[in-house]
Every structure is written in C-alpha cells, then in structure tokens.
C-alpha cells in the first residue's frame, strides 16, 4: 500500500472471515517460498501441519516446497482454489487478481501489510470475496484456539505482571 492511499474499502467481519475459512477446502499460496525465513514458508508450514486444507504452492522458480510440487501459475493448478493467499508486492496484485479470476478462485486474500483498493473493488465486481491486510495463519489460529502455537497466546488473561516462582 502506498502511504498516500486512504483506506475506504471495508473488509469482511470476523464471523465472515471465519465462514470463508470454514467453507474453504483448498488454498493456493501465490509467492510461496522455500526459504524458512519467509512469512509464506511459515504460513505454509502451519497450513500443512495444522489444517485440513489442500495447500498448493505457486512459484515459477522453485520446483518443490515442503515436499510438495510447485506450480508456475494459478492456471496450472489441478483445481480452482477456494482461497488465493497472496505474498506478492503491491504492483503485482492486479496481475494476481487476473489469474485468480481466470482460475475460478473464490477468495482473494492479501497478507498483512498488503492493501490495494482497486484490486479489492475489481475482485468483488468479479464475484470474489476479498480479505486484505490479514494473515491466513493468524486468522485460522485465532478462530481455532491455536495462537499459542506461535507464542501469541499464553492462556492467561490478566493485566498484572506475572510473578515467577
């Protein structure tokens, strides 16, 4: 998102995001990386190990990620993905949207920090659901009680500092 862009688009509510995640059977990660230091790799690891989704990796350069083959584009997938989870730079988003529409995707999901009002409006006009500036992993874990897996949820609800014995 450019710093000048004003946010006027309103995304789905938490219950609506939960419904999108519950209805989905497949997620394609566009911009998936085989490097463990990348956010897309962390998300892919979580989705593979902690969810029931069929996860597809879209990366035209890498041959395999987490033991699964990669696909050069969304058009190469064996099925239409329910969710297209995008890890690409801002200027690439219109092209990813075009691919998602052509592939028959149901939801365009832009990761944390990714916001593109024009892409969101065009995606919705084409019949896609849109989520922006949210992480699939964090949202799934939040809705399913798994944030502790990444160290975000201690299970203690208190405003007081804990005293270690």
- pLDDT tens digit string along 77-87? 999 999 999 99
- Which tens digits make up the pLDDT trace of 85-123? 999 999 999 999 999 999 999 999 999 999 999 999 999
Beta bridge partners of 130: 108
- Which tens digits make up the pLDDT trace of 14-71? 999 999 999 999 999 999 999 999 999 999 999 999 999 999 999 999 999 999 999 9
Question: E-assigned strands of 7-127?
Answer: 26-30, 54-58, 64-65, 68-71, 83-86, 107-110
d(CA 78, CA 16): 27
Question: E-assigned strands of the chain?
Answer: 26-30, 54-58, 64-65, 68-71, 83-86, 107-110, 129-131
Give the global pTM: 0.85
User: Looking at residues 137-142, what average pLDDT do you find?
Assistant: 91
CATH number for the domain running over 14-150: 3.40.50.720
d(CA 158, CA 16): 29
């Amino acid at each position: 998102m450019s710093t000048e862009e004003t946010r006027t688009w309103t995304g789905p509510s938490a219950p609506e995001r939960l419904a999108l995640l519950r209805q989905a059977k497949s997620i394609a990660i566009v911009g998936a990386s085989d490097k463990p230091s990348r956010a897309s790799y962390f998300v892919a690891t979580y989705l593979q190990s902690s969810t029931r989704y069929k996860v597809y990796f879209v990366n035209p350069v890498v041959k395999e990620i987490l033991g699964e083959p990669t696909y050069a584009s969304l058009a190469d997938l064996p099925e239409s993905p329910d969710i297209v989870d995008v890890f690409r730079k801002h200027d690439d988003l219109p092209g990813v949207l075009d691919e998602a529409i052509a592939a028959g995707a149901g939801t365009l999901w832009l990761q944390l920090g990714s916001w593109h009002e024009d892409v969101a409006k065009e995606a919705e006009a084409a019949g896609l659901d849109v989520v922006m500036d949210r992480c699939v992993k964090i949202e799934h874990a939040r809705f399913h009680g798994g944030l502790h897996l990444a160290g975000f949820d201690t299970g203690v609800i208190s405003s007081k500092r804990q005293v270690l014995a």
